Amino acid sequence: MAASVRHGTAGTARGEARGQAREHGGALDRARRRFGGAPGDWVDLSTGINPRAFPLPALEARDWCALPDIDAHEALVDAARHFWNVPAEAGILPAPGASALIARIPLLAPPGKVQIRRRSYNEHAAAFAHAGWEVVESASSGDVRPAARVVVNPDNPDGRLWDGWPDDDGTLLVIDESFCDTTPTHSHVALAARPDTVVLKSFGKFWGLAGLRLGFAIGRPGPLARLGEMLGPWPVSGPALKVGAAALSDTGWANDTRAWLDAQARRLDGVLAAHGARPVGGTSLFRLYDVGDAARWHAALGRGRVLGRVFSHTAAWLRLGIPGSDRAWAQLETALAGLG
């Protein structure tokens, strides 16, 4: 089957996914080539990574030098089970980042149609298309029901929450909750007890340690065993096992961080609204605004050494992460003043 991405209620073709560059935040090097400045001059608000990272615990030489052991793995799994209130029927598979799981999940079922919302996190569609699936937006596009469905809860970039309920029809259901730790009451991790359902959790975003590369798949033992075989032995490093277990055990830090992020998100909405931006969604890790001419805003921010995020599918949207310091807030205000 051709690896095509088809989106829209009528199934209009949107081109081949293989070979297409996927859009992400970051890429500060490209911004510097356009606007100049040293890395330390910039405030990167193009990602949804918590700017106040979890404080790293002390690491020993053996954490770096020895192969990860079973006890460290089990300590991380136990902490994850308690933190996310994982149902007893479900297992937990740590991985080197949620993206490593996203790339392999399409191999859990024979290729067919997969339903994915068009303006959602683009790695899911790319991974399924690369594995030979046909990506559609509507469950009613054509005579064949989708064999898989992907929902991102809350979605990226608009923060839309999923409130649906899956049919018990054997469809592979993937629920990506990479940003759900800011709003845990909206989690659907309980659905991981169902067959054919996999819930994804990311560590780097809420805990602000994206460079650690840690993510989790939660689901029934069968699919997780197949994913584990694809990842191979020792997929998670010793330092990641130790840091992840410490962070997932610190519920006080998590509660305080949610409150701080909520306050910063409200502050960011106020700052942007004062310059004419209209909030249209997001989470407390990133905010999405309708600014009319996003390219103009992006350029004004760039001249002020602030990196935001724009999208090829709309000329109006600007996404910003949360400033993490007084200096970052001041630099953002100065850059916005350059809008004129």
The highest-level CATH class for domain 61-249 is alpha beta
Domain 18-51+253-337 CATH superfamily? Aspartate Aminotransferase, domain 1 (3.90.1150.10)
**What is the pTM assigned to this prediction?**
0.90
15's CB contacts (< 8 A; 6+ apart) are: 4, 5
Query: 26, 44 in Cβ contact below 8 A?
Result: yes
Query: What pLDDT was estimated at residue 10?
Result: 32
Tell me where in the chain the CATH 3.40.640.10 domain(s) lie.
61-249
Q: C-alpha distances in angstroms, 294 versus 33, 38, 46, 289?
A: 20, 24, 13, 9
Query: What pLDDT was estimated at residue 321?
Result: 98
Query: What pLDDT was estimated at residue 313?
Result: 82
Tell me where in the chain the CATH 3.90.1150.10 domain(s) lie.
18-51+253-337
Question: Residue-wise pLDDT tens for the chain (340 aa)?
Answer: 333 444 443 333 333 333 344 555 557 888 889 999 999 999 999 999 999 999 999 999 999 999 999 999 999 999 999 999 999 999 999 999 999 999 999 999 999 999 999 889 989 999 999 999 999 987 665 567 899 999 999 999 999 999 877 666 778 999 999 999 999 999 999 999 999 999 999 999 999 999 999 999 999 999 999 999 999 999 999 999 999 999 999 999 999 999 999 999 999 999 999 999 999 999 999 999 999 999 999 999 999 999 999 998 889 999 999 999 999 999 999 999 999 7
- Distance between CA atoms of 103 and 96, rounded to whole angstroms? 12
Reading the block at residue 177, the tokens are: 């909750």
Query: What pLDDT was estimated at residue 170?
Result: 78
